[in-house]
Structure 1
Amino acid sequence: MQTNSFKPYFLASGVGSVPQKKSEDALELIWKSVPLAPHWPQLPGLGAESSFVGQYLNALLEAGVIADVKVPKFQVEAEDWAERMTVFYTQYLEAVEGHEQALESFGFSAQGGEGFEAFCRDLERFGTRDAVLLKGQVSGSLTLGMQITDKNRRSSYYDDTLRDMLVKTLAMHAEWQTKRLRKFGLPVLMTIDDPALYGFGASTHVTLNREQLIEELNVIIEGILRQGGIPGVHVCAGMDWTLLFDSKVQVVNFDAYDYMQSMMVLAEPINRYLARGGVLSWGIVPTNPIAWQETAQSLILRLEQNIEELVKRGVDEALLRQQSMLTPSCGTGTLQTDLAEHVYKLLAEMRGLV
C-alpha cells in the first residue's frame, strides 16, 4: 500500500453518535467542539432507521432481502428469495459500473439520513468554515453480521451469501457517503465502526478467520478509496490491532482510555504502520460517568504518559506525534446529553493544549 500524506498532528474529531434528537442541536455541539474536523451526527434517539444497525441497510430493505428495520432479518425463506437477491445484485453491479441512481439506492433512507443531510445542508449554507477535514462513518460488516439474523436466529455473518450482501452493501454505502462529502472540497475521513472485531482470537469466536476479516474490511475500504477518501476503523475495545495494521486502513481509532495496554505490546507493528503513513486516533476522552472526574489537563497527562511508554518501547516519536488524532473513546449516543456535552468540551479543551 502506498504511504499516504495525512498528517493530522492531534486533530480532534468525534466518533459519530450523539444523544440529541434535533440535528441542529447536534451540529451546534459538533461545530463548537471539533470545528477543524467536524463529523455528521448519528442520531440513534430518532429510532431504528437511525440506529447503528438499521442506518445502512436501505439497499437491502428496498430489494426485499431484509425486512423490518426495527428487527432486521434476512428473508431467506421467502418463495421469491432468488428474485430478491437478483434485484439486489443487479443494483449493486449497476452501482459499481457508475450508475448514479443505483449508487444512490445504497445511501440513507429519508429518516436514517437526517443527521447526514442536515450536515450537508449546513455545509452548503455556511461553507466549511475553518474545517480542514470532514468525517463520516459507517457500521462494519462483522458487527452487523452478528446482529442481523435469518429466520432461525442464526447470525448472518456465518452464511457466505448473506455476509457477501452485507459487505457489498456497506462498501457501496461508504463509497456513496464519501462521494457526497468530497463535493465540499475537503479531505474526507470515512470510519468503519466495527466493535465486534474485538472478538477475533477470543474463545467465543473461534471460527473468525483473520484473512477473511481483512479481506472484508478491504472491500469496504476500496469503496472509500475509489472516491478519494481516507479509510479509518474504530473499535472501542481491546483487540489484535495487527489485524487492522495489516489491512488497507489508514486511521485506527482505539479506546486509549480503557484499553491502552492492548497497544503497548505492539511497538514493532505500530512502527511499520506509521512508516506506511498510518494514523493512530486516540480515543482518550472516556464516554462514561468517569469523564466527570477528568479534566483536559489530566487527560493530556495520560496521553503523554502513554506516548512516552510507547517511545520507550521503540515507537518513532516524531511519526507518532504527527500521525495522531484525538477522539472520545466511543460514540456518545447512549449518554445523557449533559455528559455527552462534557465529553466534547474535554475534547475541545485538549485540542487547545497539545
Structure 2
Amino acid sequence: MSDQQHYPWPLASATGVGSLPGTDPGEAVRTVLGELPELPHLPELPDRGAGADIIGRAAAALVEFPVEVQPSGWRVAQRPGRDLGRARGFLSYDLDALEEHAGAYSGPLKIQIAGPWTLAAAVELRNGEKLLADLGAVDDLCESFIEGLRAHIADVRKRVPGGAPLVQIDEPSLPAALLGAVPTASGYGRLRAVERVTVEERLRAVFAAVADAGAFPMAHCCAPGVPVDLLRRSGARALGLDATLLTRDADEAIGTAVEDGIGLLLGVVPGADAVLSAPAVTVDPVRELWHRIGFDPELAAEAVVTTPTCGLAGASPRHARAALELCRKAARVLREEPRR
C-alpha cells in the first residue's frame, strides 16, 4: 500500500464536483469556502448561459482553436468571435472572484475543466459532424488544450499563491467514446469507437502536463462504465466517481487503483433536489465498496473525499448548500466510525 503522501488533501475531506446554481461568482466562491474549508474548488455557474457551460468554459482556455455557438451546439470557427469572448469573460469573472475571496487561502484548491475526449464528443467540425470523427482534429484539439491548461494553472497559482492546485479533468463522455455510442450529426448513427490505446496516449499527455505544471492530476466521470484502469494508467492520481453507480464489476479496478495510491472522490449526495439522508446513511456506498475491496476501514478517511454525485447546477440554491454541508458531515463519519 502506498503511503499517505499521495493524498494532497487533509483527513476526512469533502469537496464539490464543480457546478453550482446561480449567476454570482462572488457568492459562489464564498459558499464553497464556507462549506468546504478543507478542499474548496473553483465554482462553475452554467446558469449564466452559453459560455458558462462545461464545453464553453473549456473552450475559453483553448489556444488558437476558436469555436462558436450554432443552433446545434459549439462548432469550430474560423476566428474568435463574440461567443468565445463571452466564454472567456465568464472564466475571467470567476477567477477574479476567486482571487478576491480566496486570495489569502492556503491549502489544496481544486479546479475543473472538460477533458479533450468530452470536448471532441461535443464540439462540431465546420461540416457539422462531431470533432471525434476526425482523429487528426482531435490531435490539434489536444495540443491546444494542453497549452491552454498550462496557462490556466499558472493563472490560478498567481491569483491564489498559497493554493496547491488539484486539476480535475472532466470526462463524462469518455465511456461513450470508447463504446462507439456518440451520435453522429444526423442522430441516426453512432461514431466509430476510439481505440483505447489512442485515448490513453492523449490523456497521458494531459495528465503529464498537469504534473509538470506542479499540480495534482485528477479525472472525473459520473457516467456508468468508467474506464478506471485506463485512467489510472494514463496518470490520474485521483478519480472522481458516482459511488451510487458503481457495481461489483468495477471492484477489482478500483482496488488496484487504491493499492497504487490513487485517491477517490466518491459522489454520495444527490446532485438534484431530493430528501437528504443522515450522514451515516449517506456514506453507505463508500463503506460497502470499502468492504468489498477489502482495505482497512481507517484508510477510507484518508483515501476518500466525499462529494455530490455530480454537479449541482440543476439544484436549488438551498439544496446545493445543504448538499455541500452533508458532504462535509459524511466525511467526518468516515473518520470517526473506525475509531469507535
Q: TM-score, normalised by structure 2?
A: 0.82
Q: Which of 290, 315, 322 is the aligned partner of 1:307?
A: 290
Give, in angstroms, the shift of residue 282 of structure 1: 0.8
What whole-Å deviation, never above 9, does each CA across 1:25-62 have from its counterpart, x for those lacking one?
212210111111111111111221211111122365x8
Give, in angstroms, the shift of residue 190 of structure 1: 0.4
Does residue 190 of structure 1 match 2:190? no
Paired with 1:217 and 1:4, the residues of 2 have a C-alpha distance of 25
Give matches, 1:37-52, under 5 Å.
37-52=39-54
Q: In structure 2, what is the equivalent of residue 254 of structure 1? A: 241
Give, in angstroms, the shift of residue 307 of structure 1: 1.7
Paired with 2:162 and 2:122, the residues of 1 have a C-alpha distance of 36
Answer whether contact 2:61 2:88 (CA < 8 A) is retained.
Answer: no
Distance 1:294 1:52, change over 3 A: same
Give matches, 1:164-183, under 5 Å.
164-183=139-158
Answer whether contact 1:56 1:173 (CA < 8 A) is retained.
Answer: no
Amino acid corresponding to residue 312 of structure 2 in structure 1: T
Answer whether contact 2:120 2:138 (CA < 8 A) is retained.
Answer: yes
Structure 2: gaps (5+ residues): 183-191, 335-340
Q: In structure 2, what is the equivalent of residue 272 of structure 1? A: 256
Answer whether contact 1:171 1:222 (CA < 8 A) is retained.
Answer: no
Distance 1:267 1:115, change over 3 A: same
Secondary structure in 2 aligned to 1:50?
Answer: coil
Q: In structure 1, what is the equivalent of residue 91 of structure 2? A: 112
Stretch of structure 1 that moved more, 150-159 or 188-197: 150-159
What whole-Å deviation, never above 9, does each CA across 1:152-195 have from its counterpart, x for those lacking one?
32101221232122212222232222223334233211000110
Give matches, 1:154-165, under 5 Å.
154-165=129-140
Distance 1:3 1:200, change over 3 A: farther
Secondary structure in 1 aligned to 2:234?
Answer: coil
Paired with 2:234 and 2:135, the residues of 1 have a C-alpha distance of 21
Q: In structure 2, what is the equivalent of residue 340 of structure 1? A: 320
Stretch of structure 1 that moved more, 46-55 or 200-209: 200-209
Cα RMSD of the aligned pairs, angstroms, is: 2.8
Paired with 1:149 and 1:310, the residues of 2 have a C-alpha distance of 41
Q: Which of 107, 110, 115 is the aligned partner of 1:132?
A: 107
Distance 1:340 1:177, change over 3 A: same
Aligned length: 314
Give matches, 1:66-145, under 5 Å.
66-68=67-69, 71-75=73-77, 109-124=88-103, 127-128=104-105, 132-145=107-120
Paired with 2:65 and 2:177, the residues of 1 have a C-alpha distance of 31
Paired with 1:49 and 1:204, the residues of 2 have a C-alpha distance of 26
What whole-Å deviation, never above 9, does each CA across 1:53-81 have from its counterpart, x for those lacking one?
11122365x84743348843124xx6xxx
Q: Which of 327, 330, 333 is the aligned partner of 2:307?
A: 327
Q: In structure 2, what is the equivalent of residue 204 of structure 1? A: 181
Paired with 1:63 and 1:250, the residues of 2 have a C-alpha distance of 29
Identity of aligned residues (%): 21
Amino acid corresponding to residue 150 of structure 2 in structure 1: E
Answer whether contact 1:55 1:113 (CA < 8 A) is retained.
Answer: no
Paired with 1:142 and 1:197, the residues of 2 have a C-alpha distance of 6
Distance 1:64 1:194, change over 3 A: closer
Paired with 1:300 and 1:3, the residues of 2 have a C-alpha distance of 23
Paired with 2:306 and 2:99, the residues of 1 have a C-alpha distance of 23
Paired with 2:156 and 2:30, the residues of 1 have a C-alpha distance of 19
Q: In structure 1, what is the equivalent of residue 6 of structure 2? A: 6
Answer whether contact 1:3 1:276 (CA < 8 A) is retained.
Answer: no
Secondary structure in 2 aligned to 1:231?
Answer: strand
Structure 1: gaps (5+ residues): 79-83, 88-104
Q: In structure 1, what is the equivalent of residue 229 of structure 2? A: 242
Distance 1:316 1:270, change over 3 A: farther
Secondary structure in 2 aligned to 1:212?
Answer: helix
Amino acid corresponding to residue 68 of structure 2 in structure 1: A
Give, in angstroms, the shift of residue 135 of structure 1: 0.7
Paired with 1:298 and 1:155, the residues of 2 have a C-alpha distance of 42
Amino acid corresponding to residue 326 of structure 2 in structure 1: L
Answer whether contact 2:45 2:313 (CA < 8 A) is retained.
Answer: yes
